[in-house]
Amino acid sequence: MTNRHPRVLWRAAIDRLEGAYSENTLRSYRSDFARFEEWCEKGRRPSLPASPEAVAEFITQQARNSAPATLRRRLCSIRKVHRLLRLDNPAEDEDVLIAMRRVLRTKARRQKQALGLTSDLRDKLISACPDTLAGLRDRAMLAVGYDTLCRRSELVSLRIEDIKPLKGGACSILVRRAKNDPFGDGRYGYLSPATATALKTWLTAARIESGWLFRRVRDNCVGPKALHPYSVNRTLKIAAAAAGLERETVQGLSGHSMRVGAAQDLMISGVGLLPIMRAGGWKSMNIIGRYVEHAEVMLNGQMRRR
């Protein structure tokens, strides 16, 4: 360790990761370690290097108001910062592992599932979008998000140059980079004729000929930059409220809803898990299995009624 303030050291260490990790990952490292540092300062404990006892106590105290997934992420951030600074890693100490295991056994690990935006819900939201420039964008975004099973970050990163026409009025579009595709191998998504028409209507009205598909609209003017991923959540909730859906439904929608709902619809229509995984760019059978479990319950119910 040098004489530089620990905060300067760890922030500089994370800055070295620029370009090697996604912005979301770097943001998590910074916010999580800042929270740990603040906790250490209040207890007059050193955060760098942190003792295993301090990390174990931090995990135990944070468990009162944090989900297991959040605790694992914060522990990962503590581990990463210590490794970057070539310090002894307290996160691997047995006391810390025991503390985490104790938390996982006492707290429910199951994450809250986003409400699936299945085709019937999608159509209600699309119909509720107004006949304005922003409304045309939102209709196209809802349709494209459902067809491609994109995450919200992938959806706002789509570009017009990556659209290719197919027979019958359909199109394909390249999803350049995904959360689980750090090196940008990409995958192709399918756009139905109806979705391709909605997208063309928006692009023509917005006079977009290159670059980002979905952009900010203010005072009936289209901006040059891509929408922020959080805008996808907001669009879904605004459209759902305009469609007159129940409050519980509006609150259950998130940026993952189109992805979840499309996977559920594919499952119900008889598509196997492997093709669904390819369509949505999933790497883990466990994750896709959790997404479509509601569809499996519905299928089982239908079979029993026959």
CB neighbourhood size of 164 (10 A): 12
**d(Cα 150, Cα 158) in Å, to the nearest integer?**
10
For residue 255, give both structure tokens. Answer: 């940026």
Helices 133-148 and 119-128 pack at an angle, to 10 degrees, of: 170
Tell me whether domains 6-106 and 119-305 share a fold: no
What are residue 212's DSSP bridge partners?
159
So where are the chain's domains? 6-106, 119-305
Sheet with 171-175, strands from edge to edge, namely 163-165, 171-175, 187-191
Q: pLDDT > 90: what percent of the chain?
A: 68
The confidence score (pLDDT) of residue 112 equals 62
The confidence score (pLDDT) of residue 21 equals 86
Confidence band for 218, pLDDT divided at 50, 70 and 90: very high
Average pLDDT value for residue range 124-143: 97
The confidence score (pLDDT) of residue 304 equals 43
Confidence band for 20, pLDDT divided at 50, 70 and 90: confident
Residue 178 has pLDDT above 70, yes or no: no
Question: How many Cα neighbours within 13 Å face the side chain of 212?
Answer: 19
**What's the pLDDT tens digit per position in 58-86?**
999 999 888 888 999 999 999 999 999 99
Q: How far is CA 277 from CA 153, 168, 170, 179, 250, in A?
A: 18, 25, 21, 14, 27
Task: Answer for the pair 281, 178: CB distance below 8 angstroms, yes or no.
Answer: yes
Confidence band for 54, pLDDT divided at 50, 70 and 90: very high
The confidence score (pLDDT) of residue 306 equals 46
Helices (H), the chain: 6-15, 23-42, 52-62, 68-84, 94-106, 119-128, 133-148, 152-155, 193-206, 230-242, 247-252, 257-268, 273-280, 285-291, 293-305
CATH T-level assignment (fold) for domain 6-106: DNA polymerase; domain 1 (1.10.150)
- Give the CATH number of domain 119-305: 1.10.443.10
**What's the pLDDT tens digit per position in 82-120?**
999 999 999 999 999 999 999 888 865 555 667 889 999
The confidence score (pLDDT) of residue 294 equals 62
Q: pLDDT > 70: what percent of the chain?
A: 88
Amino acid at 163: I
∠ Cα 142 146 152 (to 5°): 70
* Cis amide leading into 182 (omega within 30): no
The confidence score (pLDDT) of residue 22 equals 82
Q: What is the mean pLDDT of the chain?
A: 88
Confidence band for 125, pLDDT divided at 50, 70 and 90: very high
The confidence score (pLDDT) of residue 147 equals 97
Confidence band for 123, pLDDT divided at 50, 70 and 90: very high
| Backbone CA torsion sign across 126, 132, 133, 134 | negative
**What's the pLDDT tens digit per position in 157-166?**
999 999 999 9
Task: Answer for the pair 178, 259: CB distance below 8 angstroms, yes or no.
Answer: no
Q: Which residue has the higher pLDDT, 115 or 178?
A: 115
∠ Cα 251 257 259 (to 5°): 175
The confidence score (pLDDT) of residue 57 equals 96
Give Rg (Cα) of the chain.
Answer: 23
Q: Would you say the pTM of this structure is higher than 0.85?
A: no
Residue 37 has pLDDT above 90, yes or no: yes
What are residue 174's DSSP bridge partners?
188
Amino acid at 120: D
